[in-house]
Amino acid sequence: MALLRTSTIPATRRVGSIALALALSAGALAGCGGRQDVRVPPLAGQELSASAVELANAGLHVRVRRVPNPAALGRVVDQDPAPERSVSSGSAVTLSVSAGPRQGVAPPSNGQASDAALSPQAAVPAVLSLRQVAAQDRLAAAGFSVIVEPREGAPAPGHVIGQTPGPSTRLKAGSPVTIVVAKSVPQVAVPDVSGQTEAHAVKALSGAGLTVQLALSNVSDRAKEGVVLSQRPSGYATVRRGAATTVTVGRYLAPPPPKNKKKSKRRASTTNPPFSKNRPLPESQPGANAAPPN
């Protein structure tokens, strides 16, 4: 009678093998399915820090937008997408976070201190030389609202070149901070106005955003009176908006009248002078050597 040989596997090894197989199967399914949809949790009324942790656990990213609101400082007052919405994992959720009440809000009439009175002060961060988006994010994170003032023609377009109030100034949360952002000047094409009238040339150049300077040049042709003779820069040249352009316009100048010629008096001819009895006769004439009569 043949004996059957059997081998036994310890229970711990069997359990570990099953768990590994299940993990590999779950990973394979997740890899085949790609990104999964997740539910956006409700976050209104929570602290910003707790909301950020909850979104991270759900596989979502957080974006913060500071807004003036009577809610407590740092509380979430709104969110986008709305709660219970299904979104792809890795999506961003924008949270509107209270930066305190807007300045100028009257305190409540129940005798209790308003949130504005209890809101702490913070130092204005330095944002000079930062790009506009980075400066706005830094100021919003510090609890301030931002006012952007563009300035054309300044160097470093897109960067902050000034701020009011200055760095380290202590303000209440929600206070506005103005940043001056350099903006590049757009380029424009110079209209060709040669041969046009002065009025049409000025209208065309001003309409293109250019500054017009007029120069006059005397012309003897009445048809060129008030007509553009030349322009600088020339037509179709590319310049910065607001640049100066000079147009030379003809000004008719009548020619001077002809000068009157003085009449010259003709003198009498002296080739044949009149006869004079006291003048001696030429020798060739008869009686030139005769004696005078007695």
Q: Is 240:274 a contact under the CB 8 Å cutoff?
A: no
Please indicate, yes or no, whether residues 217 and 243 belong to a single structural domain of this protein.
Answer: yes
From CA 199, how far away is CA 195, in angstroms rounded? 12
- Residue 176 and residue 145 share a domain: yes
230 and 212 both lie in a single domain: yes
Domain C-terminal end among 137, 167, 183: 183
48 domain-assigned: yes
What's the Cα-to-Cα distance from 247 to each of 215, 223, 225, 232, rounded to whole Å?
6, 18, 14, 6
Per-residue pLDDT, 163: 95
In this structure, is residue 168 part of a structural domain? yes
Residue 113 lies in a domain: no
Cβ contacts of 84 within 8 Å, gap of 6 or more: 39, 40, 42
Residue 262, domain member (yes or no): no
- The verdict on residue 208 lying in a domain is yes
pLDDT for the residue numbered 281: 56
Nearest Cα residue to 124 out of 160, 78, 79: 160
**194 lies in a domain?**
yes
| Boundary of a domain, candidates 133, 167, 183 | 183
Residues 177 and 196 in one domain: no
Q: Please indicate, yes or no, whether residues 179 and 203 belong to a single structural domain of this protein.
A: no
* pTM assigned to the model: 0.38
CATH of the domain at 129: 3.30.10.20
Q: Does 176 reside within a domain?
A: yes
Contact 115, 101 (CB under 8 A): yes
Contact 48, 97 (CB under 8 A): yes
How far apart CA 132 and CA 136 sit, in angstroms, is: 6
Contacts of 113 (CB under 8 A, 6+ apart): 107
177 & 191 share domain: no
Expressed as residue numbers, the domain containing 126 is 121-183
In a domain, 237, yes or no: yes
Mean pLDDT, contiguous 10-residue spans, the chain (294 residues): 41 42 42 69 84 84 83 84 88 85 52 49 91 90 89 87 92 90 90 95 95 94 94 93 94 85 55 57 55 56
- Single residue among 183, 203, 224 that ends a domain in this structure: 183
Domain count, the chain: 3
Q: What pLDDT score does 280 carry?
A: 60
